[in-house]
């Protein structure tokens, strides 16, 4: 299975990543990635980008050094209502909007029911395209409810390669459960690197092992085809434009 797009990556702008966008583009080229989404952390993340950063992404070309660059954000889910940390006017202009739960950004996690409610509220938000690292054990959720909500709202769930590093230890079993449920319900997922350094763009070895274990195939993974990624992005952008 060929992964042609990395839809979750960070640059030096977000405060805790180590490469510029041009370096990330170079990493994409070196690692066989044709579409790179730059999705820096939202304003509530300590050291995260100011809203101006996201408004100003419009100055970037669509293609940099032969790589298609999608302008995006990894927003923070800041409360149980699923509130995001960027104004709607800014979110509407982006190519891709990721949403995830992170400590120290407003919502530090509650019971499984509360986390599930917060995540489903973000899933229902038509501004959101992808829920990132839903298997994070710091924010346990009801997997079947989350997968079902994603299916009903055309929201994608992510299998995040960086979750299998130390920072989100314990993610493997949760992510496997999510991947298996996605297979059962027929929900598409994306696999992404969550790279915070240029050499990690497109690196998804562990996540792909998990995908295999859950019997997910190429057809179940959105970012295996330029056409599918493009169609998804265009469809979601049209939905956002109407808000
Ligand atoms: Zn980060
Ligand atoms: Zn994240």
Q: Are 188 and 222 in contact (CB under 8 A)?
A: yes
Ligand in closest contact with the CA of 132? 2
Tokens of 51: 């809203």
Ion ligand 2: protein residues whose beta carbon lies under 5 Å: 100
Compute, in angstroms, the gap from residue 11 CA to the centroid of ligand 1: 9
Range of the domain at 220: 5-241
- pLDDT confidence of residue 141: 98
Residues of the chain short of pLDDT 70, as ranges, are 166-167
Residues 6+ apart with CB under 8 A from 207: 159, 160, 161, 163, 164, 175, 191, 192
| CB-facing half-sphere around the CA of 221: CA atoms within 13 A | 27
Q: Are 174 and 135 in contact (CB under 8 A)?
A: yes
d(CA 162, CA 201): 11
- pLDDT confidence of residue 93: 95
CATH value at residue 96: 3.20.20.140
- pLDDT confidence of residue 1: 87
Domain count across the chain: 1
Compute, in angstroms, the gap from residue 126 CA to the centroid of ligand 1: 24
Ligand in closest contact with the CA of 77? 2
Compute, in angstroms, the gap from residue 184 CA to the centroid of ligand 1: 30
- pLDDT confidence of residue 120: 98
Residue of 148, 150, 103 lying closest to 128 (CA atoms): 150
Pairing of strands 67-76, 63-64: antiparallel
| CB-facing half-sphere around the CA of 8: CA atoms within 13 A | 27
Ligand in closest contact with the CA of 135? 2
Ligand in closest contact with the CA of 16? 1
Residue of 233, 95, 212, 241 lying closest to 156 (CA atoms): 233
Compute, in angstroms, the gap from residue 40 CA to the centroid of ligand 2: 9
CB atoms within 10 A of CB 178: 28
């Amino acid at each position: 299975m060929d992964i042609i797009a990395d839809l979750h990556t960070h640059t030096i702008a977000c405060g805790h990543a180590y490469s510029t966008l041009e370096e990330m583009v170079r990493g994409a080229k070196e690692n066989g990635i044709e579409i790179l989404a730059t999705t820096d952390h939202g304003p509530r993340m300590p050291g995260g980008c100011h809203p101006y950063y996201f408004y100003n992404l419009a100055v970037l070309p669509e293609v940099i050094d032969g790589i298609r660059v999608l302008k995006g954000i990894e927003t923070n889910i800041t409360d149980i209502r699923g509130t995001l940390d960027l104004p709607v006017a800014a979110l509407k202009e982006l190519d891709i909007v990721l949403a995830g739960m992170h400590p120290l950004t407003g919502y530090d996690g509650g019971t499984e029911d509360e986390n599930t409610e917060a995540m489903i509220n973000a899933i229902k938000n038509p501004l959101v395209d992808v829920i990132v690292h839903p298997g994070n054990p710091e924010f346990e959720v009801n997997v079947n409810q989350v997968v079902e909500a994603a299916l009903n709202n055309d929201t994608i769930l992510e299998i995040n390669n960086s979750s299998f590093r130390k920072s989100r230890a314990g993610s493997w079993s949760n992510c496997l459960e999510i991947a298996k449920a996605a297979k059962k319900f027929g929900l598409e997922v994306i696999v992404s690197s969550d790279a915070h350094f240029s050499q990690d763009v497109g690196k998804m070895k562990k996540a792909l092992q998990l995908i295999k274990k859950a019997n997910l195939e190429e057809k179940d993974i959105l970012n295996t085809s330029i056409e599918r990624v493009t169609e998804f992005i265009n469809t979601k952008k049209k939905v956002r434009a109407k808000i």
